[in-house]
Amino acid sequence: MKLVTPLVAAAAGAACAWAFARRLRRQRLEQEAYVALMRGLAEPHKYRDAPVVIVVDVGSSSIRASCFALVAGAEWVVVNGSLQQQHLDSIDVHGEADSAHIAATVERILDQALAFLRATQLTGRIVGVGFSTFAMNVLGVDSKVRRKGAVDSGAHSLQCNLSVVCCEEPATVERVAKWQSLSGFLIGKWTTATQQRSDKCLPISFSEASWMGLLDFRRSQWDARLLELIGMDSAKMPPVADSSVPFSGLNPAFLKRWPELESVPFFLGVADGAAANIGSKCTDAS
């Protein structure tokens, strides 16, 4: 019996080591197959040395990301095979969305987009990460930039929804230091940009803000009379900025996860309808 026990233990150890080695080999073969497949689909030689951007679309039915390269003729084209997508019912029957679930899904999609760029050796010239988002979306964050409640959505009734929240959930509103868009919240979560701001809050883009029905677009600022009408403290509204304003500098946790994006600028979101028009080349009166 004394001899059998060590033999059994040794056999079990050998079996575990063999299984582990086999799993590593399978993972390596799968990675090699993925790289070969992606290089075949993407034809990366077409985009070699071209600037590349990653665009994340946070939609109501899915979250996806694609990579675009600036090719000859100053035209941005989608990199073949770069689409990463996860179907997700972002908005529930009450017009609310789980911001934590959306954030985790967006981060996984970005993981996949970067895995694609690594496999195709196109990470050398990533020049930006942009967003389009379902309109409208807004969530409250406290003084430590922690989420307070779900994302509210619904462009046609957002002013009404905020008014109802102010009346029916005053304790929640009291804890809100700033209202944020999804793109501003995510960029603030990933980067050190908020550390450079006294209010610890990133702006909302003009495109996103315009969907709230509370923006005086002639002056590019929040309409004080409308805010007063719905009982909203103007100090809780985020600053407004153009979506071309860059924010960069990943914090340590996300720098470890996405080292290729260390100094790559992130840009605030544009509403999905506006992005669709631009993507369809509908950019002027013609």
| Fold classification of 44-279 (topology level) | Nucleotidyltransferase; domain 5 (3.30.420)
Cβ–Cβ under 8 Å, residues 266 and 122 = no
**Which of 75, 54, 76 is closest to 66 using CA atoms?**
54
Confidence band (pLDDT; 50, 70, 90) for 156? very low
- Residue 134 φ then ψ, to 5°: -60, 140
Q: Can you tell me the mean pLDDT for 1-19? A: 57
Tokens of 262: 């260390």
Q: What is the C-alpha separation between 186 and 163, in angstroms, rounded?
A: 25
**Which of 239, 237, 240, 242 is closest to 270 using CA atoms?**
242
End-to-end CA distance of the chain: 90
Tell me: the pLDDT tens digits for 200-242? 789 999 999 988 888 998 999 999 999 998 888 899 899 999 9
Tell me: the pLDDT tens digits for 136-146? 788 888 766 55
Q: What is the C-alpha separation between 99 and 58, in angstroms, rounded?
A: 11
Instruction: Break the chain into its structural domains and give their ranges.
Output: 44-279
Any residues with CB less than 8 A from the CB of 114 and at least 6 apart, and which? Answer: 54, 123, 258, 260, 261
pTM: 0.79
Helix axis angle for 4-42 and 99-119, nearest 10°, is: 80
Token pair 């509103």 in the structure block, residue: 173
Give the amino acid at 196. Answer: Q
Any residues with CB less than 8 A from the CB of 250 and at least 6 apart, and which? Answer: 190, 191, 192, 258, 261, 262
Confidence band (pLDDT; 50, 70, 90) for 63? very high
- State yes or no: pLDDT of 155 exceeds 50: no
Q: What is the C-alpha separation between 145 and 203, in angstroms, rounded?
A: 13
